[in-house]
Amino acid sequence: MIVVFGSLNVDLTVPVTTLPKPGETVLGPGYQMVPGGKGANQALAAARAGAKVAMVGRVGRDGFADVALSELRAGGVDITHVERDEHPTGCAFICVDSSGQNQIVLATGANATALERQVPDEWLTPETVILMQMEVWPAQNWALVARASARGARILLNAAPAGPIPGIALAALDWLIVNETEAVAVAAGLGLGRLEARAAAAAIAGAADITCIVTLGGEGVLAFEPKLSWQVGAMDISPIDTTAAGDAFVGAFAAALVSGAELPEALHRASVAGGLSCLTRGAQTSLPQKSAIEAKLSEIARPRQLEY
């Protein structure tokens, strides 16, 4: 089982020719309103990849709440521990340019009041993967890490958006997933120096004795274990919208882990899922089904072990 503790949002997405610069207004032909939030995106991605998933978080008592929960409900995700709050449902404002790159502003809303005590003790078992991101109050994440670790649950953190991670919390993780910017920020926050992304991920893995995975966009993925590293490529595609590529990767990776896959296989499936998500506009609308992931596995070579 995967238990996702994280954010639920509504995304307002506007296609634009170019992303706005500071002080600039750009025009778009219209907008799309779809459910989003890193927590909800990753929960749905994992469910579509074949896992049993429960979502834990907060939404408001407004009309956006039903939108935020709609795809999770339709996708079979357990939302019984998503609570309503007097704060508004979180909302992201997203511009996507003609090359598929995006610019995002996030209004946190009810996500800031999500509490780790919403996760029942009975869900914190060695058979469970606890999946978290950085769009809820950090102290709640670290409290859940402590509870989950004490009860033997496996813990996966996607450090997005980047923020400080206490050393004791980092050491309790099993897997950390970061992009290049986040890898540099996390390593600097740990006092490991201002390193290039790949070196930063390797340093994090060694310092915390965990597996640190850094996504490299079109260059694929590197995974650093304390004594081993793995590389997997990316699909050869022309991206339409990269908004949820990272979330598709994380969700599919978690789903592979709970199915019993070893790290290389989980990376392989996750890389395919991330690539497929770039071929459809929107966040949750772009997350691929298990059958679609399996149909494209042959388009990326199997991960290879590296020396470092």
pLDDT tens digits, one per residue of 133-191 = 999 999 999 999 999 999 999 999 999 999 999 999 999 999 999 999 999 999 999 99
What pLDDT score does 243 carry? 80
pTM value is 0.92
What pLDDT score does 308 carry? 60
Is the distance from CB of 241 to CB of 286 less than 8 angstroms?
yes
Provide φ and ψ at 294, rounded to 5°.
Answer: -65, -30
| CA 20 and chain centroid, separation | 25
Q: What distances in angstroms separate CA 267 from CA 259, 270, 277, one per listed residue? A: 13, 5, 15
What pLDDT score does 305 carry? 87
Helix axes of 263-277 and 245-258: crossing angle, nearest 10 degrees: 150
Residues recognised as catalytic: 247
Pairing between β-strand 175-179 and β-strand 211-215 as defined by DSSP bridges: parallel
Tens of pLDDT, residues 259-305: 999 999 999 999 999 999 999 887 898 999 999 999 999 999 888 88
Domains, the chain, in order of start with CATH, read: 2-7+36-88+111-306 (3.40.1190.20)
Sole residue written with tokens 């995975």: 213
What pLDDT score does 263 carry? 96
Question: Which segments of 9-123 are extended strands (E)?
Answer: 9-15, 32-36, 53-60, 78-85, 90-96, 102-107
Tens of pLDDT, residues 94-134: 898 988 888 988 899 999 999 999 999 999 999 999 999 99
